[in-house]
Amino acid sequence: MASPLPSSVLDLAPVVPVVVVEDVSDAVPLARALARGGLPVIEVTLRTSAALDAIRAIAGEVPEAVVGAGTVITPAQVGEAVGAGARFLVSPGWTDRLLEAMRASGVPYLPGVSTTSEVVALLERGVREMKFFPAQAAGGTAYLKSLAGPLPQARFCPTGGIGPDSAPEYLALPNVGCVGGSWMLPQDTVAARDWARVETLARAAAELSAGGTCR
């Protein structure tokens, strides 16, 4: 049986791989490679027809991994993802209906924001932890630094355009708990099913984040 999770997605790991699974047969070996490399918290995006089955396979066959669902954009997907075994939920944006479904799911969740008004609206609804997306395009570390002064109670998982050079800069910010990214999953490497290379890149990402902490 899987162990209980912290109430916050931001407390799971400093770096969360954002995974797009095209072929469900890749899900288990990919998850094992990431976990062996020190990145056991895995966000499988609901962008493909294989995604739910991938979550189900990882949840059932890779106990060392903590699998969640990303790109959650409808209340129906919330139920489907949790039913498949997702242990956390991440959305690129939010509506009141989606927020209520995630709140009722019983698992940790991160609604997505990219503007100050969206952050304030979530704080008004009692949500203090959010995904900042698309991080680089929406202003990057400079934007998050600007938010820390007037909105210190908000904490973020930036995702979108983050790589090995910028990840430590994000993790050093007081209002960042973790970062999401796919730089450890190059398309050609995954297409070639080079799981040893994925493990090597995951290990480098885990070492890269060792200086930061998931606050």
The pLDDT of residue 1 is 52
The pLDDT of residue 90 is 98
The pLDDT of residue 11 is 85
The verdict on whether 22 is a catalytic residue reads no
Tell me the CA distances in angstroms from 186 to 48, 94, 141, 157, one per residue in order: 17, 28, 24, 21
> Could you say which of 43, 124, 145, 207 is catalytic?
43
The verdict on whether 43 is a catalytic residue reads yes
List average pLDDT for each run of 10 residues in the chain, which is 215 residues long: 70 94 98 97 98 98 97 98 98 98 97 98 98 98 98 98 96 96 97 98 87 40
> Could you say which of 61, 129, 131, 207 is catalytic?
131
Quote the CA–CA distance of 70 and 89 in Å, as a whole number: 6
* Residue 27 buriedness (CB in 10 A; 0-12 / 13-18 / 19+): buried
The pLDDT of residue 3 is 56
Name the β-bridge partners of 17. 181
